[in-house]
C-alpha cells in the first residue's frame, strides 16, 4: 500500500507522468443517477452523495467510474471516487512546478482493481499538451533571472497605469463637482427662496414651469425662458454664462482614459 502519492511514467508518452494516489486518501461510493448534462453533473453528484459524505461536497473532488455514462443511460448504479479537492490541487501544483506534466490521475489498485479509472475529471481535466507546454515555457521563462528587469518594468508600467487612471477619475469627479456647484449657484441666485438644493436642473425646470404658468408664456428673452428653451434638464454643463440678456451654456465633456 502506498504511503504517499507517486509518479509513474505514462506508457505511451515518456514526457508525461501518471500521478498515483494512495487508497487511504480515497473513498468509493455507489449511486444511481439518470442521464445528466455535463454542466449539472457535479451538482447532481454532490446531492446524491451528501448523506454519505462527512465533508462538505464543495471541498471534495468527484471522479466517475469508466462505465458511468453507460450506467446512467441504462438506469444502473455506478461508482464515484471522492478525495479532498485542496489536497489534490496542492499535489498537482507541486509536481507541475517541478517540471512534470501530469497526463492522468490514477488510484492505487493493489487491493482492488480500478481498471481504467482516471481522476483527472471536472476541474482537474488535463489541458491539451500544446497549451500545457506553452504555459510551462512561459512560466519557466518568466521566473528566470534574466527576465528580472522585464518583470520590474512590467510591474512599474502597471502601477503607472493604475495611478494615471486614478488621477483621471479624480479630475472627472472634480469637474462634475464644480459643475454641480455652479448649477446650484445659478438656481439659488435666480430663485433665492430655494432653501435646499437636491437636483438643481430638475428644481430649475420646475421653477421655470411655475413661472411660465404664472406669466402665461410671456418674457421670452429672460433667463428663465432661455434656460427652458435650451433643455437644461438631462444635460451636464461645465460653464453657465448669462450677460446682456444672453445665456451661454458649455456642455461638459467627460474625459475618457
Q: How do residues 60-110 score in pLDDT, each as one tens digit? A: 999 999 999 999 999 999 999 999 999 999 999 999 889 888 989 999 876
Backbone angles phi, psi at 68, to 5 degrees: -65, -45
At 244 the pLDDT is 60
Residue 14: CB partners within 8 Å, gap ≥ 6?
A: none
| % of the chain at pLDDT higher than 70 | 75
Grid coordinates standing for 39? 454542466
Q: Count CA within 13 A, CB hemisphere, residue 144.
A: 10
What class is the 6-143 domain? Answer: alpha beta
**Which segments of the chain belong to CATH 3.30.420.380?**
6-143
CA 208/CA 228 separation, integer angstroms: 7
Number of CB atoms found within 10 A of residue 187's CB: 20
Assign 27 to helix, strand or coil: strand
What are 60's strand-pairing partners?
84
pTM reported for the whole predicted model? 0.51
Q: Strand ranges (DSSP E) for the chain?
A: 6-10, 13-21, 27-31, 60-64, 78-84, 102-107, 237-243, 246-251
Assign 131 to helix, strand or coil: helix
CA 101/CA 80 separation, integer angstroms: 25
Residue for grid cell 461638459? 252
Number of CB atoms found within 10 A of residue 105's CB: 24
| % of the chain at pLDDT higher than 90 | 32
Lowest pLDDT segment from 87-91, 95-99, 118-122, 187-191 = 187-191
CB 20 within 8 A of CB 114: no
Which of 84, 91, 80 is closest to 5 using CA atoms? 91
Residue 257: CB partners within 8 Å, gap ≥ 6?
A: 164, 165, 168
CA 169/CA 175 separation, integer angstroms: 10
Query: Using CA of residue 36, residue 39, residue 41, residue 44, what is the dihedral sign?
Result: negative
Where residue 75 falls (left for φ over 0; alpha for ψ -120 to 50; beta otherwise) is left
Q: Between these two residues, 45 and 54, which has the higher pLDDT value?
A: 45
Q: How do residues 130-158 score in pLDDT, each as one tens digit? A: 555 555 555 666 667 777 787 788 888 88
CA distances from 141 to 66, 94, 144, 159, 256 (A): 38, 18, 5, 22, 36
Q: Count CA within 13 A, CB hemisphere, residue 198.
A: 3
At 223 the pLDDT is 58
What are 31's strand-pairing partners?
78
Assign 225 to helix, strand or coil: helix
At 114 the pLDDT is 84
At 90 the pLDDT is 95
Give 24's DSSP letter: G
At 86 the pLDDT is 95
Band of the pLDDT at 2, cuts 50, 70, 90? confident
Task: Using the predicted structure, report yes or no on whether residue 239 has a pLDDT greater than 90.
Answer: no
What are 113's strand-pairing partners?
none
Amino acid at each position: 500500500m502506498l504511503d504517499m502519492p507517486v509518479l509513474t511514467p505514462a506508457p505511451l508518452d515518456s514526457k508525461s507522468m501518471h500521478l498515483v494516489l494512495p487508497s487511504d486518501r480515497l473513498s468509493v461510493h455507489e449511486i444511481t443517477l439518470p442521464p445528466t448534462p455535463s454542466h449539472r453533473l457535479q451538482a447532481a453528484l454532490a446531492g446524491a452523495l451528501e448523506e454519505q459524505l462527512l465533508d462538505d461536497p464543495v471541498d471534495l473532488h468527484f471522479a466517475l467510474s469508466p462505465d458511468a455514462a453507460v450506467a446512467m443511460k441504462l438506469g444502473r448504479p455506478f461508482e464515484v471516487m471522492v478525495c479532498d479537492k485542496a489536497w489534490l490541487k496542492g499535489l498537482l501544483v507541486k509536481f507541475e512546478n517541478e517540471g512534470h506534466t501530469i497526463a492522468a490521475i490514477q488510484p492505487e489498485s493493489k487491493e482492488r482493481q480500478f481498471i481504467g479509472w482516471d481522476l483527472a475529471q471536472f476541474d482537474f481535466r488535463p489541458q491539451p499538451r500544446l497549451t500545457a507546454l506553452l504555459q510551462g515555457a512561459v512560466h519557466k521563462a518568466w521566473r528566470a533571472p534574466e527576465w528580472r528587469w522585464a518583470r520590474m518594468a512590467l510591474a512599474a508600467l502597471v502601477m503607472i497605469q493604475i495611478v494615471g487612471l486614478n488621477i483621471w477619475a479624480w479630475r472627472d469627479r472634480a469637474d462634475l463637482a464644480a459643475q454641480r456647484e455652479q448649477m446650484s449657484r445659478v438656481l439659488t441666485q435666480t430663485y433665492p427662496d430655494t432653501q435646499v438644493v437636491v437636483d438643481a436642473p430638475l428644481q430649475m425646470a420646475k421653477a421655470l414651469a411655475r413661472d411660465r404658468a404664472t406669466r402665461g408664456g410671456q418674457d421670452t428673452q429672460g433667463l428663465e425662458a432661455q434656460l427652458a428653451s435650451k433643455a437644461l434638464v438631462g444635460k451636464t454643463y461645465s460653464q453657465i454664462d448669462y450677460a446682456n440678456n444672453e445665456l451661454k451654456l458649455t456642455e461638459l465633456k467627460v474625459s475618457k482614459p
